[in-house]
Amino acid sequence: PTCTGNPDLGECGEEQGSGVEMAEQSLLNKLIRHSLVHSSNQVEVLQRDPSSPLYSVKSFEELRQRKPELLKGVYQMGFNRPSRIQENALPLMMAQPWRAQNLIAQSQSGTGKTAAFCLAMLGIVNPADKWPQCLCIAPTYELALQIGQVLEQMGRFCADVRLVYAVRGNRIVRGTKVQEQIVVGTPGTVYDWCAKQKVLDPKKITMFVLDEADVMISMQGHRDQSIRIQSRLLPKGCQMLFFSATFEDSVWEFAERIIPEPNYIRLKREEETLDNIRQFYIMCGSKEEKFSALCNLYGCLTIAQTIVFCQTRRMASWLAESMTREGHQVGVLSGEMTVEQRAAVIERYREGKEKVLVTTNVCSRGIDVEQVTLVVNFDLPVDLKGRADNDTYLHRIGRSGRFGKRGFAVNLVDSQRSMDIIRQIEAHFDRKIRKLDLEELDDLE
């Protein structure tokens, strides 16, 4: 992607949603996700056959294909009841073998998709049959491993169910055949094992899961390999399940091209709002003055949990270093960190070890706003033409209605231009952004 005008070249790929960064973001979400994300939105279900009754389950026991040893694993993971998306998706997926139903499911990350298809796969395999019965593909090695870990945990009491990773570096002796019932891998290696090395026989696969469809289609190679696997290798009548965390039309188009007669289930994410957020701005003359303002605010910042947004990676590093030099304790999330390093910083912030997190837009995704009570825009969000970027503003400081908690946003203004941006944002959301004098800070506490 071209990214003229973006001062932070290294990050524009992410802004443009390039596949690799999307995969990293997904992995980050998985690494930091400890519990379900709730949503008060309705689950939308579109059934292929409108005459068939709409099943939904309020407990795992109600599932038809229940194996006691599998339920034991589910309960040991602390799952008491199905999540919103699972209520509808599980009975549909597990209607096998009477009626294999295909499914396209979309819901934001953290709503229980992975757990759902892991349960479905473990539910349908026959441990007595020593050949691959379920195939699951994901965009990267790391994401495949995450899925495998869920399978291993959930299936730990399922004796004789085995799992193999079809990922780069994992070799199967030529001339032998994969005997594991579940295969989790990346599209390239899976195709290679089936079509070239012929160590994986796809002919008896009854369930095909494609996870992170949105990421998959933004990686051209993966997209093509996935189509090839589906059209050339899988047997007719194989059940197909597609999952995506986003709702782009391209996901639907892709899925509809390769999934015959799909059912749809989706759970939209909650809209963010500025209700309950008190917004302020502080007049400053320069970058240095903004820095002093921030240091003066530091006492307030640490009462709350704060995220400070900068426009560029460079600015974020400068700010974090300067704050640290002043003796303030801050965490920093930066684009050049590995996913694991980022996950560790977010973890520390979540645990309250760091109260202040300095970051750019790009790195902040995946942090639950629930946690954050104060947002500081060290730099105001602008688009490539230098106009107010309202969506990003909302994304940084807004929160979904259900949290209901009060939040504060402080914008640091250092020029007439940034004052104009404040006015644009005010007008766009029809919400007042009040001037804050530093003497007035008690108000925040």
**Residues of the shown chain interacting with ligand ADP in the complex, contacts defined by CB under 6 A:** 33-36, 77, 79, 82-83, 86, 109-115
CA distances (Å), origin 250, targets 147, 244, 255: 24, 11, 8
Helix boundaries (H) for 9-97: 9-15, 19-32, 68-76, 84-93
The least CB distance from residue 181 to ligand ADP, in Å, is 21
Q: Tokens for 420, please give them.
A: 């104009």
Distance CA 122, CA 234 (A): 19
The least CB distance from residue 34 to ligand ADP, in Å, is 6
The least CB distance from residue 40 to ligand ADP, in Å, is 17
Comparison of 35 and 51: residue with beta carbon closer to ligand ADP: 35
Comparison of 77 and 303: residue with beta carbon closer to ligand ADP: 77
Comparison of 113 and 278: residue with beta carbon closer to ligand ADP: 113
Residue type, 129: D
Comparison of 392 and 400: residue with beta carbon closer to ligand ADP: 400
Distance CA 329, CA 373 (A): 18
The least CB distance from residue 208 to ligand ADP, in Å, is 17
Residues 6+ positions from 17 with CB-CB distance below 8 Å: 218
Which residues are registered as beta bridge partners of 360?
310
- The answer to whether 211 touches 147, Cβ cutoff 8 Å, is yes
Distance CA 295, CA 298 (A): 5
Distance CA 432, CA 284 (A): 19
Chain centroid to CA 414: how far? Answer: 34
The least CB distance from residue 258 to ligand ADP, in Å, is 21
Comparison of 74 and 316: residue with beta carbon closer to ligand ADP: 74
Comparison of 36 and 172: residue with beta carbon closer to ligand ADP: 36
The least CB distance from residue 147 to ligand ADP, in Å, is 9
